[in-house]
Structure 1
Amino acid sequence: MRHWTKQTPFTDPGENAAMLATIGPEPERVIAAIQGLLIHGGAVEYYGLAQQEFSRETLSVDSRLGAILTEDDRPLSVERAPQDRALGTCRDYAVLVCAAMREHGRPARVRCGFASYLGGAMWEDHWLCELWSMGRWQRIDAQLDPVLQNALQTQFPPADVPPEAFLTAETAWRECRAGRLDPASLGHGEATGLWFVYVNLVRDRLALDDRITSSWDDWRTAASNPLHMTAEMLASADELANNDPIGASSIIPWWVRT
């Protein structure tokens, strides 16, 4: 588990480490603090705000906290008004949770997969954080603040997302390949299918190797012309999905790494 306790260049809070450490290590405290700092750029209407353009680029924790504190230098535990929060995506929430937990030496990791509770596709493209607690990986979705919980009518605490509500990409891939899950039910908006599950499988394996972002985050540009899954790609994905998470990215073929 020590592998998951160490900060990486992407999760390292840098000069803001002391500020980040003040909001942990209890999941509920971390979730509450991060919810007061971020707002999902695609969900602003739930907070009475007008839609606006926002960057989907996932920032390193050092950069994200630096930007937040430049705008408002109060402690990170102080809730900002919705209009004053930083715009981000589900991955930004997951990365901040992961960094906060690791800052206290708690094993945590970022996961890419599919959620059933976001109101889009049956299984919507999503990221969250896993915390090793009491002998299991506890899934944390800090994006689910009270406003979104009410809007989406979720029935579980954001500090413990149940297995049936979130599929890691590896699980989704295996279920699709076994014929137990329809690939068309997984994706984002109109971008669905086995190719999308493949994209998330690669992104998940890279994330488990602490490579949180990659060129495969540009899947939106391929949505209108999805990947053709060759036999070689299917075989490599099967191997990825059934390989031990640590070091799995070493077997990702060259066409994925680029």
Structure 2
Amino acid sequence: MKPGLSKPRDIASLKSRLASVRLKGAETSVTARARKLLLVYLEAAEGHGMPFQDLVREMRSGLPAVRIAGMALQQIADRPDGPLASAACAAGCAFCCILSGQDGGTVSEAEARQMHGALAPLAGKPDGRDWHPRACAALDPLTRTCRAYDARPLICRTYISTDVAACAKIAEGIPAAGAGVVGAQGLMLAAVSLSRAALDGVSQVASYSLARITAGASRGEDLASCLRAARQPPRALEDERRRFGG
């Protein structure tokens, strides 16, 4: 625990801690928004009489962050002139499911658990890697649609493209305009990072590799083993937060 910060023991002291903690680097508008919305979430939890330890478990899993970012994404989707209105995304166009980097994307514990639950019943069946060696294991190799679509994390939900050709180039490591992640993912990462800082000394908030979770679930690993193997080093979350403007 950082010097000068007292360990929160109830929701009131957790709110105070959340309001005062600072992440590395200058605070961005994304982080400021995430902090404000998390404080509103804590206020609501306190108002509904949620036990402190239950709230800690929720924050540790990243569930508040996912809910906050999900609402932000819905607001984007509801805009008639928003980025979704001109999206070229369609079923079977799976270039965005060809994962980049070793981790293939950063997800919260809540998202990791949800993906594992959706894929575990499909263990041993052909997966996306039978179509492309770097594809997400959640993908169906024949239809090139997500086998865990309703459970997919925000990193997948927030990726939008106006140009399929750009997606094909990006999948092969060639920079191209026309595709990218909308702001809700950065908001989620900032909220998870703030939760980690606020719960320092109380509970550990981890982030996880999407590629490792989906691969493990697809080959039949139990949830606990999957989470242990997919857990990222602390710096991974901070690097992703900064990459997405948080």
TM-score (norm 1): 0.26
* Higher share in helix: 2
* Higher share in strand: 1
Q: Which has the higher contact order (CA 8 A, sep 6+)?
A: 2
TM-score (norm 2): 0.27
